[in-house]
Amino acid sequence: MTKEKFTFQAEVGKLLDIVARSLYSQKEIFLRELASNASDACDKLRYAALTDPALIDGDGDFKIEIKVDKKAKTLSVIDNGIGMSRDELAETLGTIAKSGTEAFLEQASGDDDNTVDLIGQFGVGFYSSFMVASQVDVVSRKAGEDKAFMWSSDGHGEFTIEDAERDGRGTTVTLHLNKDDKEYLDETRLEHVIKSHSDHIGIPIVMAGEDGEKTLNSASALWTLPKKDITDEQYKEFYNHVGHAFDEPWLTMHNAIEGVISYTNLLFIPSAPPFDLFTPERKGHVKLYVNRVFITDDCEGLLPPYLRFLRGIVDSQDLPLNISREMFQHDPRLAKIKTGLTKRVLSELKKKAEKKPEEYAPFWDNFGAVLKEGLYEDQTNREKLIELVRFESTKDEGLRSLADVVADKKEGQDAIYYITGENPEQVRQSPQLEGFKSRGIEVLLMCDPIDEFWLPGVGSYQDIPFKSVTRGDVDLDNVADDGDAKDKTDKPKNKDRADMDDLIVACKVALGDAVKDVQVSDRLTDSPVCLISGDGDMDIHLERMLRQHKQLDAGSARILEINPDHPLIAKLAVAASDGKGTDDIMTDAAFLLLDQARILEGEAVSDPAAFAKRMSTVMERGLV
């Protein structure tokens, strides 16, 4: 078949440009990425050979070879792993998952200092080759096939694929080095890079030298060694390898479990969130081994989806080698491992949260929204998870646990109050919070989409119910004003609320079905109006979120609450009581109050043209 020319997926072309231009530090990581890819290829073939031994006939010893050609100025990384077909070359090296590439580009643009970390975070390690190479050639022959193909590109928007020759299965990646990167032709330099970054790859990495072939790495499974013999730097290197990451692990968990089911786990929690954390598939990335034989890195039954941020390995001697990956998901032995791993991870997180809250805070910022998914879907571990949950609140005292909130509960307070919204900064300005602030009542700021779903399922904490401040069944009469509250208003209270009746009637007549009801508020102190949900109605933020995602056609009518102590409301009440407000005036006022309440909720007014006309009319009356 003749040579074919292809154009990179648009996002990959941009990415390659960023990689080639912007990565000036830690260039050596390209070699670790190529070695890791070669190791993965060998692991995949070792597993495939369990059911098809012919794939490794005559070549059962896996290895990764590094070869230097100083005359041609090339560096090659060669493996005898599973290899790639022509289509796999085009798919694997010509495209990346669209969401990951877009996220990479968004973060990398204009941020040269951070780009090197993003390479690993976004799973585009192969492309780091273009940091040191003007051209990259990949010759690959898939195990069990007799044809080889060569992928070639200079990283400038196009690549070619053509027929090639290769004696056996596997892949050879050849880098034509830039003139400024000739240091990677030096065997001593290459040995140092491998020992620094890839020492614990389980496949021997060899290089031919003057004294014959030399193994550069220890080629031992790190998780099989005693913890006391492993340094922090070795753990970090292994995390970088197994997670294809560049950050430091936030937490390392290395345990050997003996019992009915015996297994070893070496798990890491990243210090930076992976790019695919919120993809719909919610896939895990912990590698499963059986007797040090790699099985899969996508085992659905190994860990619950809400722990998908974990990286690392689990190795068991008690799982069978000769069953399919799909059957693993329903194997009761794997279920026992899942239970044990989940319990251990949650236990370690609890220790961090209680003993080192300042270290727990960045973990929560990165992964709290994911961990809260467990409150919705994992009833077995719900009690453990609820102790790990942290919130921002109106107290402005950093992250708060539910135990903290209950301990500081006000006398007469019969609920744990919360408000949902897009982000903490926005919800802090919500008028519904005013009465709570004046009484010194703490309100939790719930700003993750999952909050709308786990809260109804959990319902309460220590038998104290959760209650939204935007609902109509909130009663603050039993909680006295806090004289020391910093948001307490000094405005005189209008104790005579009988004069609100005429205004309420006028507003109800004017607004009709646009509102569910109009009533006097005891939660407002500064704002004239706000919207709340009626008993049994959907929460305001949840309804808006469902409408945005086309899951709800139209919103329900809300209750309009008015503040009897606000000067504007007081004047309107007088006008309504004295009959000085004509029907037109009261109608304009009622709709302007409703639109103002909508704007405060972050929603658009229902009829912008009518809103503008009413506003002009009211301003004109005030100026005459």
Structure tokens at 341: 């791993």
pLDDT category at 209 given cuts 50, 70, 90 is: confident
105-123 pLDDT, tens digit each = 455 555 444 444 444 444 4
Which amino acid, one-letter code, is at 417?
Y
Q: What is the pTM of this model?
A: 0.73
Residue 495 pLDDT: 47
User: Burial of 549 by CB count in 10 Å (0-12 exposed, 13-18 middle, 19+ buried)?
Assistant: exposed
Reported as type and span, the H/E element at residue 99 is helix 98-108
Rounded CA separation 65/209 (Å)? 12
- 206 band by pLDDT with thresholds 50, 70 and 90: very high
**More confident call, 42 vs 542:** 42
Q: Taking Cα atoms as reference points, which of 379, 372, 376, 371 lies closest to residue 345? A: 371
Confidence of residue 614 (pLDDT cuts 50, 70, 90): very high
pLDDT at 328: 66
Average pLDDT, the chain: 86
The conformation of residue 30, written as its DSSP 8-state character, comes to H
DSSP H helices in 446-524: 451-458, 500-511
Helix, strand, or coil here: 595? helix
pLDDT at 244: 79
Burial of 293 (0-12, 13-18, 19+ CB in 10 A): middle
Tokens representing residue 601 in the block: 């909720």
pLDDT at 128: 83
Q: Which helix (H) or strand (E) holds 358?
A: helix 357-371
Looking at the chain, the whole-number percentage of residues with pLDDT higher than 70 is 86
Give buried/exposed letters for 508-542 (b at 16+ CB in 10 A, else e).
Answer: eebbeeebbbbbebebbbebbbbbbbeeebebbbb
Q: What is the C-alpha separation between 421 and 452, in angstroms, rounded?
A: 10
- Residue 99 is predicted with a pLDDT of 39
- Model confidence pLDDT, tens digit, residues 326-370: 666 678 899 999 999 999 999 999 999 999 999 999 999 999 999
**What pLDDT is attached to residue 2?**
73
C-alpha–C-alpha distance, residues 86 and 293, integer Å = 27
Neighbouring C-beta atoms of residue 72, cutoff 10 Å: 12
Note whether 369 and 448 are within 8 A (CB).
yes
pLDDT of residue 371: 97
Instruction: State the pLDDT at residue 101.
Output: 43
Interatomic CA distance for residues 217 and 15, integer angstroms: 31
Of 322, 264, 276, give the one whose Cα is nearest residue 99.
276
Residue 498 has pLDDT above 60, yes or no: no
**Token pair for 596:** 């103002």
In the chain the domains, ranked by start, together with CATH numbers, are: 4-218 (3.30.565.10), 223-359 (3.30.230.80), 391-488 (3.40.50.11260), 500-623 (1.20.120.790)
Instruction: Please provide the size of the chain in residues.
Output: 624
- Confidence band for 13, pLDDT divided at 50, 70 and 90: low
Six-digit token pair at 620? 């004109």
Ranges 147-151, 283-287, 308-312: which has the least confidence: 283-287
Give pLDDT, residue 116.
44
Which tokens belong to 220?
Answer: 């031992």
Kind of pairing between the strands at 558-562 and 515-520: parallel
Q: Is 84 helix (H, G, I), strand (E, B) or coil?
A: coil
Residues whose CB is less than 8 angstroms from the CB of residue 388 and which lie 6 or more positions away in sequence, other chains included: 346, 349, 350, 353, 371
- Indicate the DSSP class of residue 394: T
Tokens read off for 552: 């709800």
- Cα angle, residue 254 at apex, residues 253 and 258 outer, rounded to 5°: 125
> What does the alpha-carbon distance between residue 278 and residue 157 come to, in Å, rounded to a whole number?
29
Which distant-in-sequence residues (6+ apart) come within 8 Å of 39 by Cβ?
Answer: 64, 79, 201, 202, 203, 241
SS3 category, 565: coil
The yes-or-no verdict on residue 142 having pLDDT over 90 is yes
- Decide: 405 and 416 in contact? Cβ < 8 Å: yes
What lies within 8 Å, CB to CB, of 10 at 6+ separation is none
Measured in Å, how far apart are the chain's first and last C-alpha atoms? 86
User: Residue 400 gets which letter from DSSP?
Assistant: B
Give CA–CA dist 219/238, Å, rounded: 12
Q: Which residues contact 553 (CB under 8 A, 6 or more apart)?
A: 547
Beta-bridge partner residues of 515? 558
Pick from 274, 280, 485: nearest CA to 394: 485
- Tokens at residue 307, please? 């722990």
Shortest CA distance to 311 belongs to which of 248, 374, 390? Answer: 248
Q: Which amino acid is at 200?
A: H
